[in-house]
Structure 1
Amino acid sequence: MILYTIGFGKKTAQEFFTLLQRNGVKRVIDVRLNNVSQLAGYTKKTDLAYFLRAIADIDYIHLPEFAPTKQLLDGYKDKKIDWREYEIQYLCILGERASLNQLDNSLFDGACLLCSEPTPKQCHRRLLAEYLAEKINGVTVVHL
C-alpha cells in the first residue's frame, strides 16, 4: 500500500495536479485544519474537490480530525514551542482522538495526504504518514 503526501505551497496548479496524476493518486485526503484558506486559490475546499475530479479523476476528502489543533499550530508559529515539542504534542493528539479506529484502512491505499507546507520536513503530514505506516501493515510513504 502506497500512501503519498504533498504540500501545495510553492507549487503551481500545473505542478500540483501533474504530480498527483503521474503518481496515480486515487484520492486526496486534506488534513488541514482550515481548508478554505487563501494561501493557494486552487486548494480551497470546494474548488479543490472540483479540480481534482475534473482534471485528474481524483476523489477528495477532508479529515480535519488528523489536523493539529489551532492551539498547537499557534504555539509553534509563535515560537512558544519548538519542532520537537510540536511533534510530541501532535502525536499525543492523534492517539487521544483515535480517529484511525473509525476509518477503513483501505481509504489510505493510493491516497495522498495534503497540507500547505512545501516540504514534509517540518510538517504534520509527514508525522501523520509515519504514524499511519506504524499502525497499518504494509504502508510505504512517498512524499511528492
Structure 2
Amino acid sequence: MQIDKIDVFTIGFTQTSAERFFNRLDKAGIKTVIDVRLHNTSQLAAFAKADDLAFFLLKINNISYVHQPLLAPTDAMLKAYKKEKGDWDVYEKRFINLMEERKIEQRLTPKMFEGACLLCSEALPHHCHRRLVCDYLNEKWNGALSVRHL
C-alpha cells in the first residue's frame, strides 16, 4: 500500500525581493511558515523580522507563522561556521548530531509539516540547515516528506 507523502517546502529570504518571496509562498499554497532560525529578529532580516513577517504572511497570504528554534543550530555552531568561516562538512555533522541529541523526530510529527514551508536566511538550500532538517527527518520517518525548495 502506497502511503501519501507530506508536501513540505523550504525557502530562504536573502537575495530576493519581498514581492518575489511572498509570491513564491502563495503560488506553492503554503499554509504555515515554520521559521527555523535561531535569531529571528536581526536588523539584517528586512521584511523577515519575526513580528513583521508574521504580520505580512497573514495579511498578504493568510499564512500562519511559527518560530521553531528546536530546528535551529546553536549560537556556537553558527559562530564557528558563519563568523569564523568554518567548514560546511564539520557544521553539517555537528548539526545532525544536535538533531539526534534533541530527538526532533520524536518531538515532531510528519503531519505538523503538512502545507508548511521551513524558513531561514540562506538563498539556496545546498549549504543551509533547513535542508539538513528535512533530510534528517526523512531518514528517521522513512521518507514521509516530499520536499521542494522554493
TM-score, L = length of structure 1: 0.94
Q: Distance in 2 between matches of 1:113 and 1:3?
A: 8
Matching residue's letter, 2:48: T
Matching residue's letter, 2:145: V
**Which stretches in structure 2 are left out of the alignment for 5+ residues?**
1-5
Root-mean-square deviation (CA, aligned residues, Å) is 1.1
- Higher mean C-alpha displacement, 20-29 vs 128-137: 128-137
Mapped contact 1:133–1:141 kept (Cα < 8 A): no
Moved >6 Å (runs of 4+): none
Matching residue within 89, 95, 105 for 1:90: 95
Question: Offset at 1:103?
Answer: 2.7
- Higher mean C-alpha displacement, 130-139 vs 43-52: 130-139
Matching residue within 83, 87, 110 for 1:105: 110
Matching residue's letter, 1:116: S
Q: Which residue of 1 aligns with 2:20?
A: 15
Question: Offset at 1:129?
Answer: 1.3
Q: Percent identity?
A: 48
Question: Offset at 1:35?
Answer: 0.3
Q: Distance in 2 between matches of 1:38 and 1:116?
A: 12
Matching residue's letter, 1:105: P
Question: Offset at 1:135?
Answer: 2.5
Q: Which residue of 1 aligns with 2:66?
A: 61
Q: Which residue of 1 aligns with 2:49?
A: 44
TM-score, L = length of structure 2: 0.91
Question: Offset at 1:138?
Answer: 2.6
Q: Secondary structure at the match of 1:4?
A: strand
Question: Offset at 1:21?
Answer: 0.3
Q: Distance in 2 between matches of 1:59 and 1:135?
A: 26
Matching residue's letter, 2:76: Q
Alpha-carbon deviations, 1:93-119, whole Å to 9, x = none?
001011332234311011100000010
Count of residue pairs the alignment pairs up: 143
Q: Distance in 2 between matches of 1:52 and 1:41?
A: 14
Q: Distance in 1 between matches of 2:121 and 2:135?
A: 18
Q: Distance in 2 between matches of 1:119 and 1:64?
A: 20
